Structure 1
Amino acid sequence: MAGKRRTQERRTKTKTISISLQDRGQTTQDFAVGIGIFLLAIAFVFSYMPSLLTPFSSSVDSGQTAQADRIVATMVDNLSEDPDRPNHLNGSAFEERYGDADDSTELAAALGLRATSEMPIDRVNVSIEQLNQSETRSDRRIEDLTSGDPYGDESAASAGRIVTIDHPECDPACRLVVRVWNT
């Protein structure tokens, strides 16, 4: 029996194999490509997200906002006659220059806006409003100190200045508001 045991095949021992860092499955290039794709995906998501959160079409651009600000600054500069009171407007000069404009083309020409021969390219509304916050916007407007196209809460660029004017409804001050929007 002893001879039989020796004649049986001997089992081979399993060998352990050590893998060095150079022989592993992921290379540096694989890691760089994976991180690059991940960063591109993150950049795409962050660049796309603002368009999801903003309105689909904004009718007011920065040019109209700058135009409204330029108009209100020019009006305050032209209607202020006393250098000691820089934001005190002359009410009769306001009515003479801007209040007598029968249509929007005349007001656009008086304010230096773009216009064709038939109609202005941009619509504008100039109004002096009371500072009383308890009333609605349309109730705060002083009708004899309002000029231009009728404004009905459209999307418009607006600029305003706190001014004083000799008018019974403007005590102690009022707000000069210029609104500009496209036709």
Structure 2
Amino acid sequence: MSRRGQTNIDFAIGMSLFLVTVSFVFLFVPTVFSPFEVTQGQPVAANRAATRLVDTLLAGSDPGTLAPVCTIGFFADVDIDDCDYDSSRSLGDALGIGDKNVRVEIVDDGETATLDGTIEPSGESPVPSDPPIALERQTPSSGDVPARATTVSRLVTLDGEQVRVEVTVW
């Protein structure tokens, strides 16, 4: 009967094979469940920003409508009484997405919509918006929108017209 036990070299080889196998499993298995590269940048942030914009910041009296006064105030970056937008906050903070780059645009028939109206800043006298305000706003110094940006749209009614609110986050 041989009384041979496990030698140091047997232990080293066994542990090495075990560690290589465990490492392979941890590195390979996640790629099985997500084999394709994600082509969108920030879908959750874009959805959150669009929902907050349409349902809270620019919401009118009826569901699915935007308040023209609040919309003008938002795109002119001015505080308006009875509107939830605070112009002292950054665009990303106001939309609840922090320091991400964001672009907000209201589109009517494929073009950036404009809105005539009167801007009435909090505590100041009314000022007519002349020329009409283009309903487009972007994070300062964010540059061009990259190809991997996520764009989310919401159909709403603004001033009796059906328009599309587009929020792009990257």
TM-score normalised to structure 1 length: 0.49
Q: 1:109 to 1:99 in 2, by over 3 A?
A: farther
**In structure 1, the residue corresponding to 2:97 is in which secondary structure?**
coil
Q: Is the 8 A contact 1:125 1:151 kept in 2?
A: no
Match of 1:77 in 2: 55
Match of 1:13 in 2: none
Q: Is the 8 A contact 1:128 1:176 kept in 2?
A: yes
Q: 2:45 aligns with which of 67, 78, 103?
A: 67
Query: Distance between the aligned counterparts of 1:123 and 1:153, measured in 2?
Result: 9
Give the percent of matched residue pairs that are identical in Structure 1 and Structure 2: 25
Query: Distance between the aligned counterparts of 1:65 and 1:106, measured in 2?
Result: 20
Q: 2:97 aligns with which of 100, 107, 113?
A: 113
User: Is 1:95–2:72 an aligned residue pair?
Assistant: yes
Query: Distance between the aligned counterparts of 1:96 and 1:176, measured in 2?
Result: 16
Gaps of 5+ in 2: 1-28, 79-86, 115-133
Q: 2:135 aligns with which of 132, 145, 157?
A: 145
Query: Distance between the aligned counterparts of 2:143 and 2:157, measured in 1?
Result: 23
User: Is 1:160–2:153 an aligned residue pair?
Assistant: yes
Aligned pairs, number = 110
| TM-aligned CA deviation for residue 109 of structure 1 | 2.4
Query: Distance between the aligned counterparts of 2:69 and 2:157, measured in 1?
Result: 13
- Supply the RMSD in Å over aligned alpha carbons: 3.3
Bigger share in helix: 1
- Specify the code of the residue in structure 2 equivalent to 1:111: L
Structure having the higher Rg:
1
Match of 2:6 in 1: none
| TM-aligned CA deviation for residue 99 of structure 1 | 3.4
| TM-aligned CA deviation for residue 98 of structure 1 | 4.6
Q: Is the 8 A contact 2:48 2:97 kept in 1?
A: no
| TM-aligned CA deviation for residue 113 of structure 1 | 2.5
Runs of 4+ in 1 over 3 A off after TM superposition: 149-153
Q: How does 1:37-48 map to 2 (within 5 A)?
A: 47=32
Query: Distance between the aligned counterparts of 1:66 and 1:111, measured in 2?
Result: 12
Gaps of 5+ in 1: 1-43, 115-119
Query: Distance between the aligned counterparts of 1:151 and 1:176, measured in 2?
Result: 20
TM-score normalised to structure 2 length: 0.52
